[in-house]
Amino acid sequence: MDEKNLAAVVMAAGLGTRMRSSVPKHLHPLLGRRMVDWVVATARAADVDPIVVVSAPATAGEFDGLEVAVQEKPLGTGDAVRSARAALAGRADDVLVLSGDTPLVTAELLRELVRTHRKSGAWATVLSLELEDPGSYGRVMRGVNGSLEAIVEAADATDGQLAVREVNSSIYVFRAERLWPVLDRLEPHNAQGELYLTDSVGLLTADGGTVAVHKAPDPQEAIGVNTRAELADAAAHLRDRINEAHMLAGVTIVDPQTTWIDAEVEIAPDVVVHPFTIIRGATRIAGSAEIGPHAVIVDAEVGEGVSAGPFCYVRPGTVLQAGARAGVFVEIKNATIGQGAKVPHLSYVGDAEIGDDTNVGAGSITANFAHEAGREKGKTTIGRNVRVGVNTVFVAPVEVGDDAWTAAGSVITEDVPANALAIGRARQVTKEGRGGKRND
């Protein structure tokens, strides 16, 4: 942001009991990322470095690739930030304190917060937001010059203070040289013995320092997530942001409110995404593809001009090459579908390779089970320009050569050479008078 070094402490040590979950709150998934990962990604986008995540001992191993400080006991937000002191010693002029449960915070908001902090020369700056219903948030009490006088917790507020709609977001910037000493002065004021970071703000004010306030223009960006209902609301906001970014980049999303796209998905211009489509993981979709409606695409490579849907499930490891089709009620897993190849409807293709311009008839299946426990699943390889008759079952491992055909209803258990017709079914036997109607 400027020549001063800005570090971040991301508080992610709480259990989040209000989520009613065995999964810690900060690790709940949101459009392909955990909640805390959204906060870390935003800090990185705001050019913050280093970033230290404060974790409980039980979840310290959940943050591979991140710098972690462990809060040994749950002694409150003040102790959580203090846990990162050793990790940041000598590495920061200012310290940005973030909550790991604020996935909607944006890089631009963090930049504005830091600009306010440094321009004011404050010892600390609080990010506030204004809410119609402030609820249990701590109230921000300002002085005549607009600086912070106090943060009053709702439980301790008077009726007049409760009427204040500007509240504390629990996101701050501190001068490092002021932050670390004041954390050592925190004292518990509750039966749990917890140390509250908000008390450090009061101590700095009492010491004669200026504590500035930066109000978020959009309060939604600073809202924390504490319940499943709030998690769903955050997901909807993130969905809208992701979809808008894709549409501005040239993707047609027919109904953004029913389309869910994970954060890491890449979609080229001129792709059309129809309603009720879910695109997840590290999926990549090339230009002019048409996806949906009611399609689910997960960790797949989708080539130019591909048609996937409606009602198809494309699972991890799948490659749909240019012009391929995955049609109605088709499931494909860990398979490559060649250029111009078609799996039009009612089929399962797993652990397979299908050549260019091949057509797979309705109801066909690659039976890719492992014959013995612990063995890899068998692979089906089908060549170019093959015509697979309806209701064909390929019992892997098996190979079918180029230009071959299979007869409808066949079970293919042996390799089929190129340009051959394979018939793998019992001859029909008709016994008259053995139907449902009986003569008395």
Catalytic sites, residue numbers: 345
| Nearest residue to 426 (alpha-carbon basis) of 409, 404, 406, 405 | 409
For residues 353 and 379, is the Cβ–Cβ distance under 8 A? yes
| Nearest residue to 293 (alpha-carbon basis) of 315, 275, 308 | 275
Radius of gyration of the chain (CA): 30
**Run of H or E residues at 229:** helix 228-248
Distance CA 92, CA 184 (A): 18
Structure tokens at 350: 């797993």
For residues 366 and 349, is the Cβ–Cβ distance under 8 A? yes
Distance CA 183, CA 196 (A): 9
| Residue 134, CB-side half-sphere exposure with 13 Å CA sphere | 22
Q: Terminus-to-terminus CA distance in the chain, angstroms?
A: 94
| Nearest residue to 201 (alpha-carbon basis) of 149, 143, 157 | 149
Crossing angle of helices 35-45 and 107-120, in 10° steps, is: 60
